[in-house]
Structure 1
Amino acid sequence: MNCIIPGLNLKVFARALQALAKVGDDLYMEASKEKLCLIALNLRKTVCVRYYLLESYFSSYEIDENELSEHSESIFCKIHMKIFLPLFKGVHLDKKLEFVKLEYENNNDLIIVKMKYKCDDIVMIHKLRLMEAESLTIGVCSDLGSSNVITTSSLYSQLLNTFSTSDDEITLEISRDKVLVRNYCVGAPLRPKSVRSQVNLNGSEFTVFQIEDETTINFSLKPFRTAIQFAEAFNLNIGLNFEKGGKPLAIVMKNPTFEVNFIVATLNPYSDAQSTMTASSIPAKITQLNKNIENITTEDREALKNENWDDMEIDTNKIPLETCMITKKGSFHEIVTKAKQKIRNATSKLGTESSTNSFSKKQGDKRNKIFELPLKSHLNEDVDDIIPLSPESPKTKKAKLVFGRCFESTFSRKNLGEILAPNSDSE
């Protein structure tokens, strides 16, 4: 893959990376013959962002057909966002850089970024280490929903200004002729120090307002704010494609040279089928492409089968008390049982000599006490770790009662009465 991004389009590329970094820590890049796709997915799989950079976006875009496989018509790579994002942070990159070239060969561990500056014809080459190659497949299309709403980004920006920045979720009650926007759910308990806001939007305020069924959708505000900030920077229209609460919501922005899709998981807070306020995850599949794990030979497998694992016992006599006290319950009881069994065997073998018997008895009693103490504490407590109690604070507070008045703001020496003896200290 060899693609050149002209300086005029670097602002779009930098803004796209910033939006992707707010969603996930890893950046998936998928290069096909027609476009370059940048994908990010959050950890909970509730938000997925896809940027499609079309061939017309680049001044030069080449894909080697020999690198394409029969099963896939794209080239995949994965890179950490913290490595790739700092290269495109800065002010007025479109005025400083003439172009940026991305070079990547399939099944390679590096991606090469060449940045050509306008000043003195300086070319900076960055070789970035890639992560293990994986492909990300999202089972949701941007035009899957039956209802479609399109309006300008400025309208959504004014709408969000009416809500507080501390609001995490937004609820849309959609009917045939209007949309009711709330930062709360009807019937939900009131949060302290929060203001409930509600905005009515008529269908005439939208460029396209096609509603198939009336529904209520609740989703996170963070990806919605990110989408509006990107759209407002380039004066793009924002389209919402949805079906009903509980199904994914698609936030779509289109340009002649690129396309943006935000896939956000939603829920219906008033549905009986959903008793919790947790959004369902987006169907996503991560496929590992390169597996460099060596196969286990047949000789190693036979050796593992013939291995006698019962002979590998832990010598509990050498384990200190602190180690036993922080051990899990199941493994701790096994260690105690094995230790007691060894003690019984040792004492039975040394039964002929009285002196040895007394010595082993003392040692056996000592070991039993060592292992029985944490065992009783484990049986009586639900926690796995034993934390010693802190020392009790002194119960007497006479000193505070006697000398406490000396530190009060209303204290006066006259209240003490006649001074019978002067101070012994020089101060």
Structure 2
Amino acid sequence: MRCVIAGGNVKVLGRAVHSLSRIGDELYLEPTESGLSLRAVNSSRSAFASFLFAPLFFELYEPGIAGPDTEVFRCKVHMKSFLSVFRSLPSLEKSVGKCLILLKPRASRLVLQLHCKYGVTKTHNLAFQECERLQAVFDTQRCSSRLCAPARLLAEAVVHFPPTLAEVTLGTGPGGKISLRNYMEDEAEPSKTMVTELWLAEDEFQLVAVAPGSHITFCLKEFRGLLSFAEASNLPLTIHFDEPGRPVVFTLDDTVLEVHLVLATLSDLESDSQSTSTNGVSHLPVPSEDFADDLESYMAAIETSEGGSGGPPSPTFPQPADTDPEEEEEEEEEGGVPGTPPHKKFRSLFFGSVMTPGRPGPATTQEVLAEDSDGEC
């Protein structure tokens, strides 16, 4: 793979790397005929981001694909190593005129050259590791709610929240207004907790198509990273979401750029109990270790297949799978604990797990096969 980035696009690439650095510790690169894809995923598999730069973004783009039967070469590098090349964004615009990215599979090196003013060339040789394809599976067309707004509007809204805030709740109110509010747990005392809530009018958005009374809670850190990129690029941001517990998808579309950010949302106990009898997908009261198959029908999944197509992401949502009642009862006996689960739980986007503070304990309803003896054996 060989590509050359010239002019202001070097700073755009640097902003994309800064945004991806908020997601994970590794950067996945995949050069295809459709463009260069940069992706990242966090350790808990609850956040996934993808930047696809079209060939028109580059001054020269050679993916290095010899023929249709040639397998696409994919690799990953440490995020800190790649980020160090684009550490200072102001200096990139002032001093760097061209950036060369060269992938050498035989030497296991990713070469980045910055051609600066006065004939100065900075060369960075980064070690990489060959990997399988990283792709989240989602479908924005099947989301019941959609919002589209200028990135500056949302950036000015979230600036009122403290930097240490972990989650934010996006919801709808009377008159079609959209609200942003810091998330509060049920255990928190209202008199001792600071509440920040903003209401945005419907006419401030470019598109409002939301279900009445809908709301979702997602992490704010990754959302801030995408907002900073979208605001600097002057691109409108589209939010696709559904019921609580389903992933929320943020998209940016341009002629030379396609961005997806997929975040897990906080599951709601009331919506879980209602969806148990309506959507045909079983919800276990407490997570077990081997229940990914029950949730993968509606959760986003990670696709790690070497034989995947080399094109851009084609989001698809898996169809609901039939579950066996006997297998479901066995899973509840092995990993389920009677009682009420914790209210705050984030579902993993990619493996269908539920992120809880502790692991489920042993079931108290299991049959005792052998009682303890009082005497010696």
* TM bin (shorter chain): 0.5 to 0.7
User: Match for residue 196 of structure 2?
Assistant: 197
Q: CA deviation at 1:247?
A: 1.0
Q: CA deviation at 1:69?
A: 3.7
1:38-91 alpha-carbon deviations (Å, 9 max, x no partner): 000000011111111111110111123326645x5x431111112211111223
Structure 2, unmatched stretches of 5+, are: 274-284, 287-294, 308-377
Instruction: Give the TM-score normalised by structure 2.
Output: 0.68
1:313-360 alpha-carbon deviations (Å, 9 max, x no partner): xxxxxxxxxxxxxxxxxxxxxxxxxxxxxxxxxxxxxxxxxxxxxxxx
User: Match for residue 26 of structure 1?
Assistant: 26
User: Match for residue 221 of structure 1?
Assistant: 220
User: Match for residue 81 of structure 2?
Assistant: 83
- Equivalent AA in structure 2 for residue 87 of structure 1: V
Decide whether the 8 Å contact of 1:217 with 1:267 is kept in 2: yes
2:304 corresponds, among 286, 293, 301, to 286
Decide whether the 8 Å contact of 1:7 with 1:93 is kept in 2: no
Distance in 2 of aligned mates of 1:191 and 1:68? 61
Distance in 1 of aligned mates of 2:304 and 2:13? 24
Q: CA deviation at 1:193?
A: 5.4
Larger radius of gyration: 1
User: Match for residue 35 of structure 1?
Assistant: 35
Distance in 1 of aligned mates of 2:142 and 2:116? 43
User: Match for residue 123 of structure 2?
Assistant: 125
Decide whether the 8 Å contact of 1:48 with 1:262 is kept in 2: yes
Q: Percent identity?
A: 26
- Alignment CA distance shift 1:47-1:229 (3 Å): same
Q: CA deviation at 1:164?
A: 2.4
Decide whether the 8 Å contact of 1:216 with 1:268 is kept in 2: no
Distance in 1 of aligned mates of 2:303 and 2:62? 28
2:165 corresponds, among 151, 154, 167, to 167
Distance in 1 of aligned mates of 2:98 and 2:215? 46
Decide whether the 8 Å contact of 2:241 with 2:248 is kept in 1: yes
Distance in 1 of aligned mates of 2:121 and 2:51? 27
Name the stretch that deviates more: 176-185 or 258-267.
176-185
Matches of residues 173-192 of structure 1 in structure 2 within 5 Å? 173-174=171-172, 177-185=176-184, 187-190=186-189
SS at match of 1:271: helix
Q: Alpha carbon RMSD of aligned pairs, Å?
A: 2.8
User: Match for residue 207 of structure 1?
Assistant: 206
User: Match for residue 250 of structure 2?
Assistant: 251
Name the stretch that deviates more: 280-289 or 198-207.
280-289
Decide whether the 8 Å contact of 1:80 with 1:131 is kept in 2: no
Structure 1, unmatched stretches of 5+, are: 290-427
User: Match for residue 149 of structure 2?
Assistant: 151
SS at match of 2:134: strand
- Equivalent AA in structure 2 for residue 130 of structure 1: F
Distance in 1 of aligned mates of 2:145 and 2:60? 38
Q: Does 1:116 align with 2:115?
A: yes
User: Match for residue 52 of structure 2?
Assistant: 52
Runs of 4+ in 1 over 6 A off after TM superposition: none
Distance in 1 of aligned mates of 2:20 and 2:3? 20
1:11-34 alpha-carbon deviations (Å, 9 max, x no partner): 111111111111101100111112
Distance in 2 of aligned mates of 1:270 and 1:182? 19
Decide whether the 8 Å contact of 1:150 with 1:239 is kept in 2: yes
- Alignment CA distance shift 1:44-1:170 (3 Å): same
1:248-293 alpha-carbon deviations (Å, 9 max, x no partner): 11111223321221111113435252779xxx9742133469xxxx
- Alignment CA distance shift 1:143-1:111 (3 Å): farther
Distance in 2 of aligned mates of 1:45 and 1:186? 23
Name the stretch that deviates more: 132-141 or 36-45.
132-141
User: Match for residue 422 of structure 1?
Assistant: none
Distance in 2 of aligned mates of 1:190 and 1:107? 60
Distance in 2 of aligned mates of 1:40 and 1:56? 23
- Equivalent AA in structure 2 for residue 114 of structure 1: Q
Number of aligned residue pairs: give it: 284
Instruction: Give the TM-score normalised by structure 1.
Output: 0.60
Distance in 2 of aligned mates of 1:110 and 1:164? 41
Bigger relative CO (Cα 8 Å, ≥ 6 apart): 2
Matches of residues 82-101 of structure 1 in structure 2 within 5 Å? 82-90=80-88, 91-101=90-100
Distance in 2 of aligned mates of 1:167 and 1:75? 39
- Equivalent AA in structure 2 for residue 38 of structure 1: L
SS at match of 2:76: strand
User: Match for residue 10 of structure 1?
Assistant: 10
Q: CA deviation at 1:103?
A: 1.4
Decide whether the 8 Å contact of 1:37 with 1:53 is kept in 2: yes
Decide whether the 8 Å contact of 2:245 with 2:268 is kept in 1: no
Distance in 1 of aligned mates of 2:64 and 2:130? 21
Decide whether the 8 Å contact of 2:244 with 2:271 is kept in 1: no
